[in-house]
Each structure stands twice: as structure tokens, then as C-alpha cells.
Amino acid sequence: MTSWFFRVSVFIPLLLISCTEKPVPVQDWDRVIASYVDPETEVNVLDLAELNLALAETGRLATDLFHYTQVGSLGILPDWNRDERPGKISSDVYYSMGLVACAQRMAFETNVAAEADYLPEMMLRLIQTNLINGSYPVAEKYIRVLEKDGYDCSRYKPFLYNDAAVDRDPELGPRRRCIPARDHIALENGIDEDLKEIIRANPSYHKAIEYLGVIYLLDTEMDKFREMLDEFYGTEALPTLPESFAEAACMLSELERGYWKKVGVDPAVYKRYTEYKKRLGTGLSMDKYRDTFWYYIMRVNNP
């Protein structure tokens, strides 16, 4: 016969488990970076996009981008084929960029395409974006759905119907200030034009200009990159050049003598560029420059 004590000792932990609220899954960006293995041959675009997102979220995108093998702007924003993982990554990237409408749309569409009733990460994104937009009844509806299924939404409930709290929050407030004043269809003129609108609306949101610049570099659109520097360098949006931007500015000096000085490139970076040029065509290994934009563009031009 089973003892009363045994029955109670089993029941109590089960009761505690059933009453414990589940946290909505969130990414550990440092772990993503630390666990990424840079492939020597075939690159998994989704793994790379997640790595680059982690670099952006930790403030290292424009500095460390070319420390890893890159494959063009698909390594920033992968194609969505209605599968869950690329959909989630795309929503995360748009949210990171400050493109709130795109992040919301991708979260909604990924949820619709999911095999499960919903994806908790994408439901959270719908809460975040509706709070940012001030659509509080919609955000409240999604919070109720998650709470009904045992998820802890205490982080976001205080923002309901509280504009001042949203504006003060370090996650939601800056993204609210990224919303451009001009009402238009998202991405109708290309992602770069939408990113420029964010930069003009909220120049302190530096992730937007980092994404804009690295997309131009990954697709080797040097004329557009130069136009970006001409408009934003020296402003609040881009007071100094991060590593990859400085390396690209060195190459632009081939077209305009001394351009690297004009945009404040460290002389040590330009010296390394001149050494790189001397080594080109010598037959010597270029591996010492593998972590540079120069090596990336050389590989793109000589596949």
C-alpha cells in the first residue's frame, strides 16, 4: 500500500511545476556568438544571419562583421520560405534594425505559417510592436493569450495604456522614436531608404546606420556607401567610423585622394591598407587580412 507521505511528496512538486509561469524564450546573443563556428567552405545562411544579428545586438556588427566568412546581404536578412526559423530570424532582424512595421508583419506571418497554434517568440514580438505603436488593446489581447498558456508577461504589462512608460523604456522607447513621420508602405523604396528614414528620425539609434552600411558593403555598393558617409559622417548618427566602414573608406581613397583623412580613418588602418595593396599580386598568402573588408571584396571579385 502506498504511504500517505509518498503520495504527498510526489503531488507537491507536480503542483509547483503546474503553477510556475514559463518565461517567453529569448536569445542569449553572447552564447550565439561564442558557439558559432566559422565554416571554411559551405556557409549556412541561417546560422550566419543569426550570428550577424547577435553581433548587432551586442554592438559589434560594423566592427566584427568581416571577422567571419560572409556571403552577401542574405547573411543579414535571409529569404523567407514560410519556414519558422527564417521567419523568426527575419522578424528579429527587422526589430533590431528599428523597422517596427516589418518586424510586426513578419511575426504575424510566421505565426500564421507555423505548425503550432503560435510561436511564443513571435507572439512576444506582436506584444512589443503593438506597444511601440501604441496599439494597447491589441498588445493586451496577445498578453492574455500568452498568460492563458502559462507564460510570464510581467515585463510588458506595465506599458499598457502608458505612453510615458513606453517612451522611457530602453528597448521600446528608442524603437518608437524610429517610426518615421511619413506614412508609407514599408520597404516600398527598398530597405536602405527605410533605414535612412530611421536614421534621420532617430540618429541616436546607431544599429540602423550599422545595418545600412554593412548591407552596402556586403553587396559591394560602394557608390551608395559613399553617399551614406557624405550624408551622415560627423553627425550624431555616425560620429566616427567603425572598423569595416573605415576599411571601405580606405578603398574610396583610390577615387578621391586623401578621402580616408576626410572621414577620420585612423592612420594605422590606412597604413595596413597600403601594405595589403603591396601584397596583392605577389603570390604571397593574404590570410593575414582575412578579417578585413578588403579580403572580402577580393574574394567576391575572384570567386
Interatomic CA distance for residues 233 and 96, integer angstroms: 22
* 275 backbone dihedrals φ, ψ, rounded to 5°: -70, -40
Percent of the chain with pLDDT over 70: 91
Compute CA 133 distance to the chain's CA centroid, rounded to the nearest angstrom: 20
pLDDT band per the 50, 70, 90 thresholds, residue 11 = very low
Interatomic CA distance for residues 127 and 110, integer angstroms: 15
| Residues 258-295 pLDDT 10s | 999 999 999 999 999 999 999 998 989 999 999 999 99
pLDDT band per the 50, 70, 90 thresholds, residue 27 = confident
Interatomic CA distance for residues 32 and 13, integer angstroms: 33
Percent of the chain with pLDDT over 90: 81
Mutual orientation of helices 206-218 and 293-301 as an angle, nearest 10°? Answer: 30
| Residues 112-156 pLDDT 10s | 988 888 999 999 999 999 999 999 999 999 999 999 999 999 999
* In the block, residue with C-alpha cell 580606405: 250
